[in-house]
Structure 1
Amino acid sequence: MRFTLNFALLLMSLALAAGCLWVASHGAWYWAILAIWFFSLINNMPFALMHEAVHGVAARSKWGNHLIGQMASWAFPTSFLLQRKAHLDHHDRNRTDAELYDYYLPQQSKPLRSVWLYMGNLMGFYWFSVILGNFIYLVACWFYRSNLFVKKIAPALGFGTQVAELVKLPPLRVWCEIALAFSYQGLLFWLLDLNIWGYLACQIAFGLHWSALQYADHAWSSRDIKNGAWNLKVLPISRWIALNYHYHLAHHQQPAVPWYQLPALVDHQALQPSFWRVYFSLWKGIRPAPPMGAPADLAFLFPEYKESQQNTGK
């Protein structure tokens, strides 16, 4: 039942995303704008399903989970094996010094960290850097795995810790998965007779949305590996399209729980920031990092919370 549901959602989302690409390339400008906006949302569904497969809960069988993970990775496009390693490492490093983008440490350059935040998470370069890294792996695997890239270039871009682990994966398998994902994108381009501007507009819109979401669900949360995330408030339709991905705290607390069971784990009595509240707060810039174990900065996110605490003398 779980495989049937998730596989049906995967096929539906891939079809809808392809339809958006076609409309963006061939439709009137007003339909194209609508298609670009919807693509930025619907392309999160394959990513969410790949995320389920990363944790082994997209299907009960190993083959079913692998099939969904592989096909879902085509929409990004990326390697499922590479994504699984990167994401599981994220669960181990969450809110530690090795993975902290809303704050800067005393020994770090504030201007450089600001570039990572503004360009990466808020302007879509996080997504673009993943795609660029995959392309480099595809055309120059030797360079991606070289000491120059691993020890110099990747750290300068903010991916030093991640890339150092990714190069340990079997290179041929990762290369084949990336080649298959890029081939899927190329096949879509050819079969649907897409034009470059419509295609890029859809991908950039998705990249902006995806990049922002990847850190809006963590920014200013407690510096705790397991509890350093938020259950974000969004419109029900947005949450459904992303398969409850916005319930990120519940996911980090129990990563083996499938997406449709996450709502039952959410404490609706706790303060929950909206996606937009966190997103706009990030534009205020990075701040000095509190120590590991520090609680969430509720006073920064909720000025009204700070005022109520002062009024009650707490």
Structure 2
Amino acid sequence: MWIALAVYLPIVGSLAAVWLQAAPWWAAAPVLAWCVAWQASLQHEVIHGHPTPWRWMNRLIAGPPLLVFVPFDRYRDSHLAHHTDARLTDPLDDSESWYVTAERWRRAGRVERSLRWTMNTLAGRVVLGPLWLMAQAVVTDSRDLVAGRRLFPLAGHFMQLLALAWILSAVGVPLWGYLALVVWPATGMMLIRSFAEHRPDPSPACRSVIVENGGALGWLFLSNNLHALHHERPGLPWYLLRRVYRDGADGILSRNGGYRFDSYVKLAATYLFSPRDHPIHPLYR
């Protein structure tokens, strides 16, 4: 439970400081961005049944949609489907895949192809990836509304967004500033984690990565830098992942085909401006 306090208390404190005019709103943006990204990691834990044994309590802890464009119910359903390891990275079956089929690539225009190549670099993923995900979310939710799908969850999501907008306005944080200096960088930080999280490999067990030294980002991601272990044991709470990995690293790396990086620094040194691979999934080339 302490992790929920660690996530939410700095948010409340930062907004209170802005409201009391102890700090300008833009000075609070870095703290808010970090904690909003941290909340996304906390929501991931909630999806997997933590931190309490009670589902209703966990849903309360997951809190409001601070990332704005990610309705919790849609995230929960798509992420649980993502844990079907046989489908990992498949653009037709894995909603979290950044790959496309050869047919989709042929239909893409020059601008989309350039965007996809750019977002296959770490810098491009962090800077442009949030805008891409936001646009996708707007299209998805709009289609659901037009088709009459998920109306109740979407209504709840929009009501929470209205409450969030009212709070921001009341304390003196402009909505455009929150989107530009909090939501955008917070989403970008989370995309560092997912950038090399999975690779297309014939063996499902070899598709998930281990980043051994997560550093500060390991705390931000709640140890999901040890992602291969998380996919092996998705019910394992975040605070046990490092211990379990330490005790069984050789076996885990053997099972995931040695797909690992020493750190996110090493990952950035390799892929900051260089594409990881082709946007077309190997299965569909």
TM-score (norm 1): 0.66
Q: 1:89 to 1:175 in 2, by over 3 A?
A: same
Correspondent of 2:77 among 58, 82, 85: 85
1:154 corresponds to: none
Q: Which whole-Å deviations, capped at 9, do the CAs of 1:101-131 have from their partners, x for residues lacking one?
A: 3x66555538645523534861444433444
1:213 corresponds to: 193
Contact persistence 1:95–1:225 (CA under 8 A) = no
1:13 corresponds to: 7
Correspondent of 1:66 among 53, 59, 70: 59
Q: CA deviation at 1:191?
A: 2.9
2:116 corresponds to: 116
Q: 1:285 to 1:182 in 2, by over 3 A?
A: same
2:216 corresponds to: 237
Q: How does 1:1-314 map to 2 (within 5 A)?
A: 5=1, 8-20=2-14, 32=26, 35-69=28-62, 71=63, 73-77=64-68, 78-92=70-84, 93-98=87-92, 99=94, 100-101=97-98, 106-107=102-103, 109=105, 112=112, 115-116=115-116, 118-119=118-119, 122-135=125-138, 141-143=144-146, 145=147, 171-196=150-175, 198-199=177-178, 200-218=180-198, 220=199, 222-266=201-245, 267-269=248-250, 270=253, 272-273=260-261, 274-279=263-268, 280-281=270-271, 283-285=273-275, 287-288=277-278
Q: CA deviation at 1:19?
A: 4.3
Superposed CA RMSD: 3.6
1:109 partner amino acid: W
Using the alignment, how far apart are the partners of 1:135 and 1:258 within structure 2? 32
Contact persistence 2:119–2:128 (CA under 8 A) = yes
Using the alignment, how far apart are the partners of 1:63 and 1:104 within structure 2? 37
In structure 1, the gaps of 5 or more residues are 146-166, 293-314
Contact persistence 1:52–1:58 (CA under 8 A) = yes
Using the alignment, how far apart are the partners of 1:114 and 1:89 within structure 2? 29
Using the alignment, how far apart are the partners of 1:224 and 1:38 within structure 2? 40
1:86 partner amino acid: S
Q: CA deviation at 1:97?
A: 4.5
Q: CA deviation at 1:64?
A: 1.8
Q: 1:17 to 1:135 in 2, by over 3 A?
A: farther
Q: 1:241 to 1:194 in 2, by over 3 A?
A: same
Contact persistence 1:39–1:202 (CA under 8 A) = yes
Q: Which whole-Å deviations, capped at 9, do the CAs of 1:1-54 have from their partners, x for residues lacking one?
A: xxxx1xx4224312323545677896778x956x44443332222111211121
Point out the more displaced range, 128-137 or 277-286: 128-137
Using the alignment, how far apart are the partners of 1:202 and 1:68 within structure 2? 20
Contact persistence 1:41–1:242 (CA under 8 A) = no
2:266 partner amino acid: R
Give % identity.
18
Alignment size in residue pairs: 256
Contact persistence 1:216–1:275 (CA under 8 A) = no
1:278 partner amino acid: L
Using the alignment, how far apart are the partners of 1:282 and 1:106 within structure 2? 25
Contact persistence 2:125–2:191 (CA under 8 A) = yes
Point out the more displaced range, 109-118 or 227-236: 109-118
Using the alignment, how far apart are the partners of 1:104 and 1:137 within structure 2? 17
Using the alignment, how far apart are the partners of 2:244 and 2:201 within structure 1? 18
Contact persistence 2:214–2:225 (CA under 8 A) = no
Contact persistence 1:124–1:209 (CA under 8 A) = no
Q: Which whole-Å deviations, capped at 9, do the CAs of 1:143-201 have from their partners, x for residues lacking one?
A: 4x4xxxxxxxxxxxxxxxxxxxxx8xx52222123113312421331232113564221
SS in 1 for 2:83: helix
Q: 1:61 to 1:123 in 2, by over 3 A?
A: closer
Using the alignment, how far apart are the partners of 1:184 and 1:217 within structure 2? 34
